[in-house]
A and B are shown apart, each in its own frame.
Chain A
Amino acid sequence: MHGMTIVAQNISKKFGEKTIFKNICFCASPSHSIAITGPNGSGKSTLLEIIAGIRKPSEGVIIYQQNGHTLPEQTANRFFGFLSPRLRFYDELTAAEIVETVAKNPEARKRGFYLITELGLSDYYHMRIGKFSTGMIQRLKIALSLINDPLAILLDEPSANLDAKGKEVFISFLKNLIPYKTIIIATNEEHEAALCTGRIALGS
């Protein structure tokens, strides 16, 4: 079993007086991946960050389980891979150094190099991030979200800034991972959402 079960119970989020979303309930598992869709500002990214434990919900709880055991909330983020547009890297470091910083063990470092190669960045492995294009950074983010062989993968607009080849590689990665990992994608790309078995439409 390589995935975790994420159970959301009545999740609501307010910023000040404004309610972004209310009473969201779902259960994501390796056999039940979820796409979160909705217009800009509907709270897709916020919901993903709540699932990852980066933000607190105004109401409701998220429960993380693996093999029937509940994981403590404060350690659950160790089991996530998260791709987010908010993610920024250090311009002074190279891709190899970012991989070393993120990789939790030597196997993860090897996997990082494999993913970087698959995503067409091997020639830029020792180049500083400051010289990367936005598309190259997005490819690096994809590699980093998978590097530690996470139990759950949270992807926020994963194909943003990718060219046709990049999108093709990413979709093939996703198709391979969906049966084994717990995947939640925030997207408005129909072909990405269609790969998931469940859907949460925010702002509707």
Chain B
Amino acid sequence: MKNTKRRFVPGGLHLGREIIRLLLKDIRVELREPNTLLIVASFALSTTIATAIASGGVQIGNFERSLIYWLTTFFSAMMSMSHSFTREEERGTAFFLHLIASSYAVFLSKLIFNTIFFIIIQGIITAAFLFFIEGLVASWKYFLLIAFSGGIALATSSTILSAIAAKSSTRNALFPVIALPILLPILIAAIHATAESFENYKMLFPREIIFFLAFSLALFSISILIFPYIWNSE
């Protein structure tokens, strides 16, 4: 075997390369067996269609529409995000990740993957919602901004919660239990802000967007600090 000369690689570059390799791996695995994506897309479609049929052509109030939108989003997050770490533990591939990458690379790659994945899911939910549920959107700009920033907050929180739940023997039951109290403030704020974007043509910049981004940043900082301990716990 040929021995190659070792080159100095800065730590940040090393981390960046690890993240890219893991991210590519996750994308390939998801594309080969897109079960999660299909299940969540089916859930989003069936929920919105069922709501549209149940309302029988009667226009639903703005608050109720917002409630339906965010509950669909919330349960889609519960179904899809919980898999990010629990699947690695259940398949026994977490050990593989331990061997090939640092804990920071594992967490950041999962966070990036979850965020991209959830933006796609939310795109599907939003399209289905707007198509099937009758009603106006007064402020498109803020509706989309609230949906996007709220989605990022859900993805960030779900990633670290999934890592915590994955270490438990009752991981599938534990995830929704620990997720609900943490995601509830996001959910409540998102429902109110979205309802306003549906009805208010002269809506001012909603403070909820700042809240979602600050929440994501705070949770990201805490996650970076605690994840190595969670990941390396036996």
List chain A positions with a Cβ less than 8 A from chain B: 2, 52, 54-56, 74-75, 77-78, 80, 82, 84, 86-90, 92-93, 97, 100-102, 104-105, 107, 111, 114-115, 146, 149, 176-177, 180
Contacts and interface: CB of A to CB of B under 8 A. Distances in A.
B29 interface: yes
B41 interface: no
- The 7 A-B pairs at the shortest CB distance, nearest first, are namely A92-B32, A88-B92, A101-B25, A107-B4, A86-B95, A92-B29, A88-B93
Q: Is the interface of B mostly helix, strand, loop or mixed?
A: helix
27 contacts: A52-B99, A54-B95, A56-B234, A77-B98, A77-B99, A77-B102, A78-B102, A82-B99, A84-B95, A84-B99, A87-B96, A87-B99, A88-B93, A89-B96, A90-B91, A92-B28, A92-B32, A97-B25, A97-B28, A100-B24, A101-B21, A101-B24, A105-B17, A114-B1, A146-B1, A149-B1, A176-B1
A54 B96 contact: no
A88 B29 contact: no
B170 interface: no
A56 B21 CA distance: 27
Please tell me the size bucket of the interface on B: 20 to 34
B92 A90 contact: no
B202 interface: no
A55 B91 contact: no
Contacts of B29: 90, 92-93
B39 to A, nearest CB: 16
Contacts of B24: 100-101
Contacts of B98: 54, 77
Interface in B57-108: 91-93, 95-96, 98-100, 102
A21 to B, nearest CB: 16
A177 B28 CA distance: 34
Contact of A100 (B21, B99, B232): B21
B94 to A, nearest CB: 9
B33 A92 contact: yes
B46 to A, nearest CB: 26
Given A55-B234, A88-B95, A102 B100 contact: yes
Nearest to B11: A75
B102 A74 contact: yes
B32 A93 contact: yes
Given A92-B28, A93-B25, A2 B91 contact: no
